[in-house]
Chains A and B, each alone.
Chain A
Amino acid sequence: SYELTQPPSVSVSPGQTASITCFGNKLGDKYACWYQQKPGQSPVLVIYQNNKRPSGIPERFSGSNSGNTATLTISGTQAMDEADYYCQAWDSSTVVFGGGTKLTVL
């Protein structure tokens, strides 16, 4: 079965750029999306189709996907961005999530 691999944790200083990676075999041939989840809340879509932002998502969130790696980039990271982030793709009619990355802003 298809798998997506994320680093368990990433740390960033306020105002700096955070990059969260998602690795999967030939992931660049698929669409990747990203969700943000804060404690006690439901996931929120922040990037879809590799690099598109839903309405209401700040411009500091961006995405890319090439080769085997999709990347979520948060520029000018703010304290409110501290959360868990999950990548997701679609393979053979099944939905696949990465294991999640805890972003710490310190």
Chain B
Amino acid sequence: EVQLLESGGGLVPPGGALRLSCAASGFTFSSYDMRWVRQAPGKGLEWVSSISRGGSTYYADSVKGRFAISRDNSKNTLYLQMNSLRAEDTAIYYCARLNEVISPASDYWGQGTLVTVSS
């Protein structure tokens, strides 16, 4: 069974940093592109970042230069390093698998981890 389990969310002051993790199981993690998507309270889905199987990275303009996506295929884990956090980064952060066969859709999503940026 495919599972994605996010962790690392919490309360952080403006200007602070946080690293999110997404532990993957039930599939060959190294064979899939992955992405982070966030959802601010009461708002819609917003793409944050993607990483390919080969390690190429892509970012939304709103986080470019502040966030860094990475992966450790030996640990089956996806990461999102978030620096210089702002109040507008407050959201539930989901990791999701991009299935090449059904591209550009994500067929599995984690349950999300909440990041709150506030003093």
CA distance A43 to B44 in the complex (A): 11
Stretch of B9-17, B18-26, B71-79, B108-116 lying at the A interface:
B108-116
B102 touches A94 (CB 8 A): no
Q: Which of B39-56 contact A (CB under 8 A)?
A: 44-47, 50
Q: How far is the CB of B51 from chain A (nearest CB, A)?
A: 11
- A-side binding surface: helix, strand, loop or mixed? strand
Given contacts A49-B105, A90-B103, A94-B58, contact A99 B111 (CB under 8 A): no
Q: Closest A-chain residue to B110, C-beta based?
A: A42
Q: How far is the CB of B66 from chain A (nearest CB, A)?
A: 17
B102 touches A52 (CB 8 A): yes
A48 touches B94 (CB 8 A): no
Q: How far is the CB of B21 from chain A (nearest CB, A)?
A: 17
Number of interface residues of A (CB under 8 A): 26
Please pick, from B44, B58, B61, B110, the residue contacting A93 in the complex, using a CB distance under 8 A: B58
Q: Closest A-chain residue to B52, C-beta based?
A: A93
Contact with B along A43-65 (1 / 0, CB 8 A): 11100110010100000000000
B105 touches A48 (CB 8 A): yes
A97 touches B45 (CB 8 A): yes
Residues of A within 8 A of B110 (CB): 42
Residues of A within 8 A of B105 (CB): 31, 33, 45, 48-49, 88
Q: Closest B-chain residue to A86, C-beta based?
A: B45
Where the two chains meet, the residues of B that have a C-beta atom closer than 8 Å to any C-beta of A are 35, 37, 44-47, 50, 58, 60-61, 94, 96, 102-107, 109-112
